[in-house]
Structure formats: C-alpha cells, structure tokens
Amino acid sequence: MADRQKGSEVAQFAQRRQLTVLFCDLVDSTALASRLDPEDTADVYRDFRDACAAIIEAAGGYVAKYMGDGVMAYFGYPTAHEDDAERAVHAAVGLVRGAAELRTSPDVRLAARVGIATGLVVVGDLVGERSSEARDVVGETPNLAARLQAAAAPNEILVSNHTRRLAAGLFTFEDGGRPPLKGIKLESSVWRVVGARLVPDRFRARQPVARAPMMGREAELETLFEVWRACQGGGVRIVGIVGEAGIGKSRLADEFHRAIASRTPHIWLEGGGVQLFSNTPFYPVAQAIHRRLSDGRPLGPDELLQRLAHSLALVGIGDDALALIAELIDAAPPDAGPPIAGEQRRRALIGALADWLVRSATRWPTVLAIQDLQWVDPSTVEFLEELIARAAQARLLILYTARPDTPAAWATAETRITLRPLDRESARNLVTATAASALAPDLLERIVSRAGGVPLFAEELALLVGDEAREAPAAIPSALSDLLMARLDQVGPAKELAQMVAVLGDDAPLPLLGAVAGLGEAELAAALDRLVAADLLVAHEANGRRSYAFRHALIQTAAYETLLRQPRRGLHKRAAEAMREQLPELAERHPEVLAQHWLKAGEHREAVAAWRRAAAVATARHALREALYAAEQGIAVIGSLQASAELERDEIYLQNLVVNAAGGVEGYASPRVLAAIERSKRLAEQHGGVAEALQRALGEWAARSSRGDYRGAAEPGDRYVQLARSEGGEGALACAQMILLTRYRQGDLASAEAAFRAGESYFQHHEFLRQAGAAPQVYGSAATVAWLLGLGEEATRRSDLSLELCKAIGPYDLAYARHMAAQLHVLRGDATKAERLASENILVAVANGYGPLASLTRITLGRALAALGSAREGAALIEAALFGPGVRGARGSQTLYLTWFAEALVAAGDAEGAGRALEEALGVNPGETYFRPETLRVRGDLARARGRVDDAEADYQAAVALARSMGAAALAQRAMSSLAGLRGSQGRRDGRGTVGA
C-alpha cells in the first residue's frame, strides 16, 4: 500500500513533455583551481554560476542543477514557451560570451562550452517529495546534452539535430558530424552554433524551400488589396490580421507582400515581436530598419551606418536623428551625437523614427508590417501611436498580426481580418499539396480532421506522413510541441482539468467531468470557463446535456501525453467507475466509451465485458461496422489474457457477432467471416451451452448458404432447426423457419412457402429483428417465392411489408430490403421502378460501407438499364459487379445473375458473350435450381435467334418441365409462351394439341 501511495504522489507531479536541456561548464576548471587560491576559485565559480543563472532566466529557462563548475538548465519546463529550443540557443550564445567577459586575473581568460538537446522526457517530482524544488528529468535527452557539452571545444556550442531543426533559420549552424559520445549512438549529425542569423521573420525562417500554395484565404487577400488601393490616395491605414497561433496570419501577410511587389513601387518595412524580447525597447523597429538597410545580408557597422545616413539624407533628416537611430541598430555612431540622455533621449528617438517614416511614406507608398503584436515592447507601441498621429497625409499602411487577446489600445484597426480555421476542402487541398506522396482518401480525411482547420497543424502532420504511411500521425510533430505545451501551461492550475478532459475523450459530458475531477460546482465552472476563454475547449449543448471538447485534436493529444502512465490509468479508471456507478445511463448509452476507459485503465476483464456489451448494442442498432470493431476489440483483449472457460465463452459470443457483422459488411464468403466461424466452432466444442451452439450453427449455415454451398449448409441448418425446436425461444424459432424458407433456392418452393407461413408469427420477434439482415432476407425471399408460385399480389404485399418494417430497424436492413424489392421489380418486368430503386440504394449502400450489397444492387440496376434500352451500360455494370469484391468467389444466386448478364449481352448485340454466360449460369451451381427454368428459356431464345430451332425447343420444354416440377407457375408460363411462339412461327403442333393445354 505504501508503494502505491508513493507512486500516486509521483504521478501527481511528474509529467511527459518535450524538453530542451542545456549543459554548460567552464573549460579546464581543474587547471584553473591549481593556479588560484581556493577562495579565489570559489569566487570564480560563484560569479560564473550567477552569470549563468541570470542569462538562463532572462531567456526563459530554468536552472535545474549546479554541478561544481557547471550548470544544467531546462527550457520548456516548468513553463513552456513557443520557442524553447531557440531560447536555449540564445542563452548558450550569451553563456559563452558571458564566460569570456568574466575576469579572474590579467593572465586568465575563462571559456565555456555548451551542449543542448531536445526530446521527450519525464520531468518533475520523480521521487514523490511534493516539493516545488524537485525538478528531476529522465530520458535520453539530458544524457545527450551532457555528452555534447563534454565533446564541445572551448567557447563552442554543440546542439542535437532535433534542436537544430527547431531553431533552423534563426541561427547559423555548421555540421559537426557524428563525434563518438559515450553510451549514445547518434542517428544524425550534431551541429555547431555559429551565431544568430538575420532573417525577415520567424515565419519565413521556418518554411521549407517549396511550400504549398496558400489555401482558403482568397477573400482575406482581396480585402488587403482593397485597403492598399485606398492607401495610394493618401492617409494612414491600419489593418490587423488576427487569429490563433498557426492559423496563417504571417502567411497571409507574406502572400500580400509577394502580390504587391510586382504591382506597385513601394517601401516594405517589416519587424516583429518576439516573446523573448518583449521587454527589449524598440526591438521590432530595430529589426525592420536593419533588414531594410542590409537586404538580409550581414553588414559591418561602418557600412550599415553609411546606408542609414544615405536613407535619412534622401528625406532631409540630419545628424541628430542619425546618431539616435545608429545607436538603435548597433551601427558605428558618428563622431558627435546629441547631448541628451534617459527619457528625453527615448522620446527623441521616437520622434526621429516617426519623422523618418512619415517623410518616406509621403514620397513613396510604404508598408510597416509588425508581426506578433502581442509580444511587442511598450516603447514600440508608443512609437506606433506617435507615427499614427503624424501620418495623416502620408501613404502609409500599418499591417500587424496578433493573437486574439492582444491588449493594445490602438490595435482596434480600421480593418480587422479575423482568420478562422480553413474549411474542409481548403484543408484537404493544403494537406495534399504538402504531403510528399499521394495519400489514400481515408488517410487524408484523418489528417484533415486531426488538423482542425489550422494550416500549420495540417502542414506539419502532412510532412510526417511517409511514402508507406497508412495511418495519420498519432504523435505531435516536434515543431508544434512547444507551441501546444505553452498554450496549456498558460492556464495554470486549470491545466489539470484540461488533462482530465483529454482523458475523457472527444466529447466530455459535464456530469462525468465533475465526477472524475472531484471539484466543487463553482470551482469546476471557473476552471472550465478559463479553458474556454483560452480557446482550448469549446462547450456544446445537445438534448439538455452540456459537454466539452478540445478545439483542436492536437491540443487534446498534447494534454493527454503529458500524463505519465500511472496517473493516466488512474484517471481512466475513475472515469469508468464514475460511468458505472454514478452515471449508469451514460454507460448504457455508450458502452464502447466505457470499454475504452477500462482498457486504458489496465482493467482488462472489465474491458472484455464492456466490449461485449458495446458489440451487442451496435448489433441491435444494426451499426455493423461499429459492432465489428467492438467485437474484434473484445477478442483482442481476450487474447492478451490467460485462457479460462469464462473468457472462451465470451469469445464464442464475440466471434459469432463478427460473423453477423462482417457478413453484412463484407459478405459471408469473406476470409474474416470464415476465420470467425472456424474459431467459434473450435471453442464451442469445448465450451458453450445451447445459446452458443445456436449462434455457431446459424453463422456456419449463413456463411455456407450465402456462398451457394447448399449441400454444406444443410447440416448446420438442420442442427439449428433441431435445437431451436427443442430448446429455443421465439427468436430461435424464427431463424429456424428462415433456414427452411431459403431452401427455395434448391427448387422446393412448396415447403419454402409453408415455412414462411408457419413462421409469420415469429418473424417480428425482437430477438430475430436484432440480427442484421434477418428481416429483409425472410420477407424478400418470401416475396420471391410468392412471385415464382404465381402469387403476384402476395409477392407485392410481402415486399412492401419488408420495406416498411426495415425503415424502423436500421440502414443496413433497409438497404437490403430495397435490394430485394428492386430484384422483384425486375422479375415482374417493371424496369423503371427497379432502376429508380436500385440507383437510390447503391448510393445508400456505398455511403454506409455496405460493399457487397452495393455490388449486388448494381447487378439489378444493370439488368433494369438493359431493359430500358441502355444495354451496353447495363451489361458493363453487371460484369463489373459480378467479378468485383463481395460477389466474386460466391455461388449464391449466380444462376440468376449470370442469366441477367446474358440477357443484357443479347440486348447489346453480343450473342457469343451471352452464350458463354448462359453456359456458366447452368454450370456454376447445379444445386441452385429456382431460376434454372429461366436460364434454359433464355438459352432457347438465343438458339432460336441463331436458327437452331430444335435446340430452342429442347430448352423450352426442359424449362417448362422443371418449372412445373417446382411449382414455379411464373417461370412455367414464360417458358410455355416462348415454346408457343416458336411452334407458331414454324406452323407446327404436337400430337397432344396446343402448347399450354
């Protein structure tokens, strides 16, 4: 018990997350100690540590540990930032510079070396001390950072490839190869930091060379063009592009810049706020000036000063402003500067900057683009306010990007463009254009759903998909990890509630969330409000029930993945127990959710019971794919447990549900159905009672019967009928009569009709109707039997009853009933009704994933089209369906389908093909006789058309004899009419009188 308590304490504080770890130490500290007095050495160490702490903390890092003459720091914990890898490299540059600036004695210069690595770790209170000081870290990342630091040369910074990718474009790196690192096998190069790079902005720095075209922002881009055109007439215009991180603000501004570059001569000045420098005065302005003067190339201070002086002189600005602005951009100052300091100097700089931009914008149309306004320092905001006040006559467009909650008074722009998530079509196009290879449609849709309309998410997920990918990436792309974690850390204690919502799934009902969180009503409401206000969660109301979901699937994943296994399991267990004990109606309505919680809690026996319930509920709802998924999940869990009689009985039940569900979705001839039947049979030989035996016999009969193996189906069918009559209830008796009814396919129409009439009182029993396809099979088959017997009105009644009954059962049964009804219309000669019903049914079957049913309905549609004059189209449709998935390899009803194919070929003028189809129809399944008279009749028609009168007469006579022996009055009448027509055309009579007497 003590161990479990301690484990829960560890779970409460430790977490999984991406972390950037930095190690730094003094070079040759042992030699230094030998040269200095011990007290002086202690002072050096103290000064070095103090300098390290100041630099690391200023960059947003956390000093986790001092180690003699070195320090270990975390970037991304306990608080994450969107740019932790960049912050770590920035700090490393400062550490190397800071070490060189420390002085110990005239002849001693200090040097530092730094190693940085980024990756997944477990960090926090790993020993359960419940202390705010506990910040231990476990994983390969800290080991790699330490080894890189040991391998670095004096004043050198080595970073892992992962860190380099995250900071790429913002710093210059050199390939450091793969140096030997003790205990670590490098899969890629390490990198040496050369220095910071001058880049236009973070957006362009991180873009791949060939990026996808911008998608879904055409209207917003046109709005920018309209404002730009208005700006040409004079006056300052302010446009804000507002939206969450990754929504495409910078991309839209960049596309606007590209578009106007070739349209209108103008000046483009661009800078941006950076979270790390949000308190550095005029940082974005200095960026913008530096970039404009240097064209993105590194320049020495003297050349930079010359260019600045030239730009100022062009608009008539003198040396006083030159000195102020030169100091701002670290250019070499002129010999003399204005004798002012402090606040007066800052105000003078604001005035000089505003004057320069106003004069420039008066002469040339100018755009001042400020990225990430939410991180702009107060001095820059003050400058922008001054600029707006002075620029009434200038041709100036101030374009800024910002997060939705940016607190800037002047940011109430004249034009505010709020970017929403991309529509699904635009997101789909973006993923397709970004992915390295073509994506399967289902994979594409999963990526689009996971991205939630955020372009950055869509691109990063698409880039993760390799050529052989079959699944959407489950993990968070590393480029997004810091961004998502920063959003979660910003909500403080409410982050724990966010983790609970992540555990509860895509839609967390408020009652369940309250039960799991264990918070008071007011406290829970306040935390939820904070998560909604932070745009992490959205609230939904449906049927009087309030629930919460993450705005984006990736944020949910980030919240979930921070949890260690033990607390994660604990929360899933709490959720399952709450559903079972406090919210039983929720468990009853969504047993599949309960099963997932038990499974993820590690309670596998409970999970089996829940999956069994979920499969049964889905089967009763005729949600076949959901039933199949639940049954196979339950079987998989059983396979992970030690065998027992109880579990094997559970598996028998689930395997039989697989037969039922997969039979409807894939056809009973599918390998999955056959495997489930075989497994169920082996288990039932050792375990199981009457119910299991009935299920096994029914599944075996259905599989054999649907494949046209009527002889093989007889034994399990007879077994089922015997068991049902001796020990089964009304549902079992209904199935028994169904088995007897379907023997009409072997030509026994009389007993089939008797079976239907005897079973009519059972066929609407709830246990029978729960079985997918049972009702349409019974009533559809009974309608076919009635038509064959010549009972046309009764056939219509049974078909109409099937359609009406199946409307209330579910989509699969209704689709099956429509398929059978369309077949009946073809048999009766009403091709128009058959064509309309079959066309509608194919759409429904395809939309619901009923592949085999869609194929069979296409055969009916093809026969109807042939009768309506589209013979070639109809024949092609039948041929494609006959040899497609779900039909190929099965022999059930092949006599009928091949005969219809032959009739379509005859109508299309392909007599040779029709002849082959008819021979195949007669030979494919000799035991299937119910439609054989019609096949013989059609062959007789073909022989007659070819002038083979004797062959035609023989086929007609055989068709009449077979139909009469079965009692198939409708087919006998057709064959007799054909025979009469033949004899009438030849002027012949037999000795017994006219045909049909």
- Over residues 81-97, the mean pLDDT reads 93
Calpha distance 459→85 (Å, rounded): 20
Task: Compute how many other C-beta atoms are within 10 angstroms of the C-beta atom of residue 802.
Answer: 27
Cα angle 821-822-825, degrees, rounded to a multiple of 5: 90
* Among the listed residues 978, 901, 889, the one whose alpha carbon sits nearest the alpha carbon of residue 933: 978
| Least confident stretch, 215-229, 658-672, 957-971 | 658-672
Instruction: Output the pLDDT for position 804.
Output: 93
Calpha distance 445→431 (Å, rounded): 10
pLDDT reading at 469 higher than 60: no
Instruction: Output the pLDDT for position 440.
Output: 84
* Among the listed residues 976, 965, 80, 952, the one whose alpha carbon sits nearest the alpha carbon of residue 555: 80
- Over residues 247-271, the mean pLDDT reads 90
Per DSSP bridges, beta strands 395-402 and 415-418 are unpaired
Q: What is the tens place of the pLDDT at every residue in 535-552? A: 889 898 877 788 898 888
Calpha distance 987→997 (Å, rounded): 17
Place 200 in a pLDDT band, splitting at 50, 70 and 90: very low
- Over residues 776-789, the mean pLDDT reads 95
Q: Which residue has the higher pLDDT, 980 or 209?
A: 980
Instruction: Output the pLDDT for position 472.
Output: 59
12, 16, 518, 562 from 5: Cα distances, Å: 11, 20, 19, 20
| Least confident stretch, 87-101, 338-352, 796-810, 840-854 | 338-352
From its phi and psi, is residue 334 left (phi > 0), alpha (psi between -120 and 50) or beta?
Answer: beta
Q: Which residue has the higher pLDDT, 667 or 552?
A: 552
Instruction: Output the pLDDT for position 623.
Output: 82
- The answer to whether 150 and 29 have CB atoms below 8 angstroms apart is no
Tokens of 473: 């990436």
Calpha distance 147→179 (Å, rounded): 10
Phi and psi angles of residue 988, each rounded to the nearest 5 degrees, phi first: -110, 150
- Over residues 962-986, the mean pLDDT reads 91
pLDDT reading at 887 higher than 90: no
Q: How many angstroms separate the most distant Cα atoms in the chain?
A: 137
Torsion of CA 571, 575, 576, 577, to 10 degrees: 100
Instruction: Output the pLDDT for position 754.
Output: 95
* Among the listed residues 856, 832, 836, 834, the one whose alpha carbon sits nearest the alpha carbon of residue 846: 856
Mean pLDDT of the chain: 86
Instruction: Output the pLDDT for position 164.
Output: 93
Q: What is the tens place of the pLDDT at every residue in 915-944? A: 999 999 999 888 899 999 999 999 999 999
Specify burial of residue 303 (Cβ count, 10 A radius: 0-12, 13-18, 19+). Answer: middle
Beta-carbon contacts of 972 under 8 Å, excluding residues fewer than 6 positions away, are 933, 959, 960, 963, 964
Calpha distance 880→887 (Å, rounded): 10
Tokens of 469: 């990918």
- The answer to whether 963 and 933 have CB atoms below 8 angstroms apart is yes
Beta-carbon contacts of 81 under 8 Å, excluding residues fewer than 6 positions away, are 60, 75, 87, 275, 276, 482, 486
pLDDT reading at 10 higher than 50: no
pLDDT reading at 664 higher than 50: yes
Calpha distance 17→20 (Å, rounded): 10
| Least confident stretch, 316-330, 672-686, 979-993 | 979-993
pLDDT reading at 426 higher than 90: yes
Give the three-state DSSP class for 415. Answer: strand
Beta bridge partners of 195: 172
pLDDT reading at 886 higher than 60: no
Instruction: Output the pLDDT for position 988.
Output: 47
DSSP H or E stretch at residue 192: strand 191-196
Place 4 in a pLDDT band, splitting at 50, 70 and 90: very low
Residue % of the chain over a pLDDT of 90:
44
Residue appearing with tokens 């001095």: 379
Specify burial of residue 512 (Cβ count, 10 A radius: 0-12, 13-18, 19+). Answer: buried
* Among the listed residues 735, 245, 212, 133, the one whose alpha carbon sits nearest the alpha carbon of residue 428: 212
Instruction: Output the pLDDT for position 996.
Output: 35
- The answer to whether 570 and 595 have CB atoms below 8 angstroms apart is no
pLDDT reading at 11 higher than 80: no
Q: Which DSSP symbol is given to 280?
A: S
Instruction: Output the pLDDT for position 292.
Output: 86
Torsion of CA 101, 105, 108, 112, to 10 degrees: -40
- Over residues 510-524, the mean pLDDT reads 89
From its phi and psi, is residue 277 left (phi > 0), alpha (psi between -120 and 50) or beta?
Answer: alpha
- The answer to whether 676 and 651 have CB atoms below 8 angstroms apart is no
Instruction: Output the pLDDT for position 960.
Output: 95
Instruction: Output the pLDDT for position 339.
Output: 56
Instruction: Output the pLDDT for position 693.
Output: 79
Calpha distance 69→30 (Å, rounded): 9
The answer to whether the bond into 885 is cis (omega within 30° of 0) is: no
pLDDT reading at 411 higher than 50: yes
Give the three-state DSSP class for 423. Answer: coil
b (16+ CB within 10 A) / e for 382-411: bbbebbeebbeebbbbbbbbbbeebebebb
Residue % of the chain over a pLDDT of 70:
90
Q: What is the tens place of the pLDDT at every residue in 573-592? A: 999 999 999 889 888 988 99
Give the three-state DSSP class for 647. Answer: helix
Q: What is the tens place of the pLDDT at every residue in 107-142? A: 667 889 999 999 999 988 765 554 444 578 999 999
Instruction: Output the pLDDT for position 340.
Output: 60
Instruction: Output the pLDDT for position 102.
Output: 79
Place 467 in a pLDDT band, splitting at 50, 70 and 90: very low
Instruction: Output the pLDDT for position 529.
Output: 92
Specify burial of residue 210 (Cβ count, 10 A radius: 0-12, 13-18, 19+). Answer: exposed
| Least confident stretch, 29-33, 157-161, 698-702 | 29-33
